C-alpha cells in the first residue's frame, strides 16, 4: 500500500486558490492514501467567529467535501484533509477521510490548541478506526500529538496507520511522534503546512517537516522546513499487527493499567 502527504502554503481565505494549488501538486501523483494539512483550504489564523463561520461547511455537504470527493475518485485513493465543520451553532476543527465512492469518515479534534478554544467547540467523536482496502486507519489532528492516550486508544482498537493533518507551530511534534509510533507499533503520517500567517499583533510560523514513521520508528519520508512538497512511500500495513517487542514482551499484554493514573 502507498501512503503519502502534501505539504504546502495555503492562501488564507481563498478556498478555490488552495484547491487549485493542491490539484496542481498532485497532477502526476499515484497513491492509495494521501493526507493534506489541517484547515488546508481556509488557513488558520481567524480574526473572529464570523470570519470562521463564513469559511465553515457541514460534513459531506460543502465545497471542501466536493473537492476531496472528486480528487479521491480521480486518484482512486483515500484522501484526508482538515476543514472547519459547521454543525448547527457549533464549529469543529475536523478532518474528513473521503473514499473514491464518496463515503467518508469524520473526526473532530479532541484537544484544541491555544486560540482554537475561542472559536471551535472541542471534538466529540470517538477514537474509532475505519477500514479502507483491508487496512484499519485512525485519524488525529495536530495538537492531539501531545496526548499519548489518543494514539494508544486508536492502536488498541486496531488502527494500523494513523493519519494526522496538522498546522504545527511548536517544534516538538515530529520528534515526539517517533515515540508514538514505536510505543504503539503503528505507522504515522503527518501532513504539516509551511509559511506564515499574521493578524494584528499575532504572527505564526508553521514548521513544515511533514513526516512518515514506521512501527519501528524509521523515518520513511520527511519534508523540508519551508518547501512545498508531496511524498509517497510504500508500506506493509501488516507490520503494524505485530505488537511483540521481544519474544516475551507484547506492548499491549504487558500493560499494568491497575498501577496507572486515570
**What residues act catalytically?**
38, 109, 142
Q: CA-CA distances (angstroms) from residue 253 to 107, 210, 237, 243, 245?
A: 28, 32, 21, 9, 11
Which residues lie across from 80 on neighbouring strands? 35, 97
Dist. CA 125–CA 132, nearest whole Å: 19
Furthest CA-CA distance within the chain:
57
9 Cβ contact partners less than 8 Å away, ≥ 6 residues apart: 193, 194, 195, 228
Dist. CA 82–CA 40, nearest whole Å: 6
> Quick check: helix, strand or coil at residue 208?
coil
The answer to whether 68 and 94 are in contact (CB under 8 A) is no
Amino acid at each position: 500500500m502507498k501512503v503519502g502527504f502534501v505539504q504546502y502554503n495555503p492562501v488564507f481565505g481563498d478556498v478555490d486558490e488552495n484547491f487549485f494549488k493542491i490539484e496542481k501538486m498532485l497532477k502526476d501523483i499515484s497513491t492509495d492514501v494521501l493526507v493534506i494539512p489541517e484547515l488546508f483550504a481556509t488557513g488558520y489564523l481567524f480574526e473572529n467567529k464570523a470570519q470562521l463561520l463564513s469559511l465553515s461547511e457541514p460534513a459531506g455537504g460543502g465545497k471542501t467535501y466536493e473537492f476531496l470527493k472528486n480528487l479521491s475518485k480521480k486518484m482512486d485513493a483515500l484522501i484526508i484533509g482538515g476543514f472547519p465543520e459547521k454543525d448547527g451553532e457549533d464549529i469543529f476543527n475536523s478532518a474528513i477521510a473521503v473514499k473514491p465512492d464518496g463515503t467518508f469518515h469524520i473526526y473532530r479534534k479532541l484537544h484544541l490548541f491555544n486560540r482554537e478554544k475561542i472559536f471551535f467547540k472541542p471534538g466529540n467523536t470517538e477514537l474509532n478506526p475505519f477500514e479502507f482496502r483491508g487496512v484499519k486507519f485512525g485519524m488525529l489532528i495536530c495538537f492531539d500529538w501531545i496526548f499519548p492516550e489518543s494514539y494508544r486508544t486508536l492502536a488498541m482498537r486496531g488502527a494500523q496507520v494513523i493519519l494526522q493533518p496538522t498546522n504545527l507551530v511548536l517544534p516538538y511534534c515530529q520528534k515526539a511522534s517517533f515515540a508514538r509510533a514505536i510505543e504503539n507499533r503503528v505507522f504515522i503520517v503527518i501532513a504539516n503546512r509551511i509559511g506564515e500567517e499574521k493578524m494584528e499583533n499575532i504572527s505564526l510560523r508553521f514548521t513544515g517537516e511533514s513526516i512518515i514513521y514506521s512501527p519501528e520508528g524509521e523515518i520513511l519520508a520527511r519534508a523540508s522546513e519551508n518547501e512545498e512538497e508531496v511524498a509517497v512511500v510504500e508500506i506493509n500495513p501488516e507490520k503494524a499487527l505485530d505488537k511483540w517487542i521481544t519474544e516475551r514482551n507484547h506492548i499491549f499484554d504487558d500493560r499494568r493499567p491497575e498501577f496507572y493514573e486515570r
